[in-house]
Structure 1
Amino acid sequence: MSESPRPASRMSTRAVVIGGSLAGMLAAAAVRDHVDTVEIIEARGLPEGPEARPGVPQAAHFHVLLSGGANAIEELLPGTVKELLSAGANRVPMTTNMLIHSPEGWYRRWQRDSHYLITASRDLTDSVVRRQVVKDPRVGVRPHTNVTALLGSSGRVTGVRLRAADGTETDLTADLVIDASGRGSRLPRWLGELGVPGPAEDRIDSGIAYASRIYRAPVPTHNWPVINVQADPRSGEPGRTGGIVPIEDARWHVSLIGTPGAQPTREAAEFEPYARTLRHPVVADLLAHAEPLTDVALTHSTVNRRYYYERLKSWPEGLVALGDSVAAFNPVYGHGMSVAAIGAVALRTRLASLGLANGLSRKAQRAIARPVELAWSLAVGQDIHYKTTQGRTAGAADRLLQRYVSRLSHTATGSYRVATAMTEVLTLQSPGTVLLHPSVLAAAAIGPLRPQLDGPTFTGGERRLLAEAGIALPWMAR
């Protein structure tokens, strides 16, 4: 829908987005219809196509876009999912096209299409979203430029101070500043310089390390299932998780994940032997027939970190924080991109109802906190049960909740109703209260209605592809 012409005498409005990350691009998409221009300030350069963007260490590890996030991106940028699929990404129905070994057992491949994942390399996802955003003539990008401070006062932010690559400093005024600078955000310090007390902060670190590698898949990857063998934090042993995600160009993105005492290394010779230590050999057995295309990438940057900006008594107008600048999650749970997208939609909704009027910033920040809260509870609710976790230990209420979630997961292995409810929450399409609905509570009390599977279940078509590739898996469930 086109906007009404603005009076010629009206002063133009500008939004400044700090960071050219996925969150930054989605922030620009959220505000572009409500201001005259959007300036994205990017400390590094932005690649032209699906190439690595400096400063995104997690891009080396597999990423999935949950249906809650994909739907949000589609709302902001119609046609983006189609563009991703055309570029080689996969749409993976949950759990129809997934082989998941949870701590409670193998999930069945329930037939449903409403909950799904989009699987692609992070570089491809970033490039498609970026292309959709920067083609808008209202959106500009200033690469190789740093934001060094906020302009304004404790009551209102009026712009940012910039430092160009040659060291030149200038001031850029703005009606709205959005911090989407990620894990390295300096917003708490900038707020302090304006006289705004710092926010409460949580840091919960399970010590998880990621080792990842890309392989040439031995079978076609279109409609190939996502495979995930999860650790069991209840065992008291160091956790080992691993998975295979089909991505564009007939490749598998493989990540192996371990807590202290079981952390993988960057040594290529140790990658596949580590996969052999998972709770089931499916990942290792498939990798034995795949061709490695990259070295092993390793990261320890998996801390759950959250700033509670929505709780501050004083929050300046003209400022919003979004994405990892607010909360960065252990990436094993796959929530980061989706939380940023849902938060951007929340920002756009508040802008549509309030405009740039007083009260926007605080209300938008509180709305952004809602999807953060759900993803935070899902991530932290698991991580605190590892003995090596620092920052918080599991209390009696946490252990009670874990037992209930474990009961739900056990029931989900043989109950479509419970599996659907859990998937709605895990894909950020419904709040956690869905799991307390009387029908779900009753189903959990009854338990699974079907016997547990003794291994992953490949479809007839997948078996044929394996056979054609000369891959025999002797443990394969008949």
Structure 2
Amino acid sequence: MTSHPSALPRVVVLGGGLAGTLAAAALAPHVGEILIVERDSALPQTPAPRARLPQAAHAHTLWAGGADAMEELLPGVTTDWLAAGAHRIPIPNGMVSFSPAGWYRRSWDPTHYVIGAGRDLIDWAVRRRVLGMPNVGLRTRTKITGLAGDGARVRGVYVEQAAHDGQEAPGGPSLVEADLVVDATGRGSKSTRWLLDIGGPEVRETVVDAGVRYASRRYRAPEGAETDWPVVHIPADPRQARPGLFATIIPIEDGQWHVSLSGTRGGEPASREELFEEFARGVRHPLVADLLARAEPISDVSVYARTANHRRQFERAGLPEGFLVVGDATTSLNPVYGHGMSAAALGALALRGQAARTPVAAAGFTSRAQRAMARPTAAAWLLAVGQDRFYPGAIGRKPNLADRLSSQYVHRLVHTATGNGMVVKRVTDVVTLRKPAGILAGPAVLLAAALGPRKPRLDGPELTAREQEVLARPPLRSAETSSATDPR
């Protein structure tokens, strides 16, 4: 690691995943050195899978708000994604979506975008740029055992180094000193326990769990559909008193489609390959299933079920100086809404802004930075739990009157958006995390919602001639006849 003047702060980031590397990118201009501590034996130097990132096998949505934030933190990263085969898909005309109120139109001018790429590619491009910074270093095969310090200030972390065979190296835990420790260890973070161990505060946690289970698979896109293909999304309708079923196709690199199917408690998708496409036929519209029948599967089916929404309110806990929590370690979201990466990026951007205003080692930096990072995360949280509370068997606080009224208004907005371009833009501003949800209560939006859509409801999806031609081809496989929601 490059040597820096001792007067500049030293940061240790726990975890080399996306949230950790983005936090390092945010802090690098304002500190002397950053050490990323990672439990894996190595981090891939290519867009390859990581052992401790099983969710990478599932389709990921990188909305415009998150991609914009990553580009601001790491200028040129978008070019890296696109050069490696990712797609910049315009929204709304590059998305075929069947909302609970009907099909969205695609004839509006593009105002937003989504990056179509596998999670491994997205992470790799970010990681490569961050680890190329002169004051950022990486230490692998390192397990965190606890925090050093007390309830007033964290002064480092205790670590155990693993040998090359995976066993713990002799000698026991050692201390890595730091002016700031950033926990980016994800859903499995032990920060709440670590804080109590040093006399720190108890952290309030909220859980909303709709019991979502994912099943995902990669397909080779049909000939002629390898590029300039839309995202296809058939979401559930949370107003229906039955499990919510989702189906999504995201075009990614190498002429592939990343396909994720998901269902809430009682409607979980199967892990068996022969039931994958049948589940897709059981969602609210069979478009995804019809497309998959004309594409070739090129991977096994991967399943994932750690999808509960967890929010740990570190920003209200009165953390010790010198300690921050970022990404899924503070708020982990049901991935069906695709906001986890974007929330992490926007949080990192907020962290950079605070570091530019307040020295990282100064009193008060921790509390200010944690509060700043909580704002974009809270917006994503509300988008997720505002729907997940309504599914049968959901764990967590039941919907109250305010939740029901809010849900009714959101449905009215979605209904209006099927035929009103201004409302489409405002709703997309919020969904892509470019703007706060408060814009949906502005006078123009309220009036539009009261008047309803300006155009009649579509009878079916708006498809281009090329998309219709793909659907007109003979299917490669016939539809199965067994139960689409057979859990096994």
Q: How does the TM-score come out when normalised to structure 1?
A: 0.94
Distance 2:444 2:18 in 1: 38
Change (3 A) 1:110 1:365: farther
**8 Å Cα contact 1:110/1:416 also seen in 2:** no
Show CA shifts across 1:105-129 (max 9, x none): 1011143343111110001111111
Matches within 5 A, 1:69-468: 69-165=66-162, 166-167=168-169, 168=171, 169-218=173-222, 219-312=224-317, 314-356=318-360, 357-463=362-468
Query: What is the Cα deviation at residue 282 of structure 1?
Result: 0.7
Distance 1:164 1:131 in 2: 24
Q: How does the TM-score come out when normalised to structure 2?
A: 0.92
Distance 2:261 2:133 in 1: 39
Q: Secondary structure at the match of 1:101?
A: strand
Moved over 4 A (4+): 464-467, 469-472
Residue type matched to 1:330 in 2?
A: N
Q: Secondary structure at the match of 2:282?
A: coil
**8 Å Cα contact 1:18/1:180 also seen in 2:** yes
Change (3 A) 1:276 1:461: closer
Distance 2:72 2:8 in 1: 26
Distance 2:266 2:152 in 1: 48
Residue type matched to 2:126 in 1?
A: V
Aligned length: 464
Q: 2:16 aligns with which of 20, 24, 27?
A: 20
Distance 1:178 1:112 in 2: 41
Partner of 1:30: 26
Residue type matched to 1:370 in 2?
A: R
Residue type matched to 2:158 in 1?
A: R
Q: Secondary structure at the match of 1:150?
A: strand
**8 Å Cα contact 1:146/1:164 also seen in 2:** yes
Partner of 2:37: 41
**8 Å Cα contact 2:65/2:432 also seen in 1:** yes
Show CA shifts across 1:312-366 (max 9, x none): 1x32111111100110000000000000000001111111111121111100000
Query: What is the Cα deviation at residue 152 of structure 1?
Result: 1.2
Q: Secondary structure at the match of 2:192?
A: helix
Query: What is the Cα deviation at residue 237 of structure 1?
Result: 1.7
Show CA shifts across 1:125-159 (max 9, x none): 11111111111121111111011111111111111
**8 Å Cα contact 2:58/2:258 also seen in 1:** yes
Change (3 A) 1:421 1:110: farther
Q: Secondary structure at the match of 2:346?
A: helix
Q: CA RMSD in A?
A: 1.6
Q: Secondary structure at the match of 2:16?
A: coil
Structure 1 alignment gaps of length 5 or more: 1-5, 473-478
Distance 1:130 1:155 in 2: 32
Give identity over the alignment, percent. 49
Query: What is the Cα deviation at residue 450 of structure 1?
Result: 0.2
Q: Secondary structure at the match of 1:233?
A: coil
Partner of 1:3: none
Structure 2 alignment gaps of length 5 or more: 163-167, 477-488
**8 Å Cα contact 2:151/2:201 also seen in 1:** no
Distance 1:246 1:220 in 2: 9
Higher deviation after alignment, 238-247 or 458-467: 458-467
**8 Å Cα contact 2:98/2:104 also seen in 1:** yes
Distance 1:193 1:73 in 2: 35
